[in-house]
Amino acid sequence: MKPLRFKFSLKYLLIAALAAVLLGNSGFRKLVKNYREYSRLKSEKARLEAQSGQLRRQLREIGEKPAIEQAARRELSMIRPEETEYRFPPPEETDK
């Protein structure tokens, strides 16, 4: 009967020792904290890669010469050196 009781208490002793190592040791807590940080960074990396792909598509679209020229003409009122720009005043209310 004594050997059975020794195995039984050894089992609890091992469980208690394992719990003390895992929960009492700051290394395990750091491991869990690092795993959470790794998961967060992994999801942020995926988000940034998707954003990077979108920005590359926009850059490719902007990089096309006609698109740059149209944007410069529209937003910056730029003209080519050989062109002449004519500006007319807006019509008055009485002319409409």
Q: What is the pLDDT of residue 1?
A: 45
pLDDT band of residue 11 (cuts 50, 70, 90) is confident
Q: Rounded mean pLDDT of the chain?
A: 82
Q: How confident is the model at residue 73 (pLDDT cuts 50, 70, 90)?
A: confident
Burial class (CB in 10 A: 0-12, 13-18, 19+), 94: exposed
Mean pLDDT within 51-78: 83
Phi, psi of 27, deg, nearest 5? -65, -40
Mean pLDDT, range 68-96, rounded to an integer: 82
CA distance 79 to 73: 6
Spatial CB neighbours of 21, under 8 Å, sequence gap ≥ 6 = 28
- Domain borders along the chain are 24-79
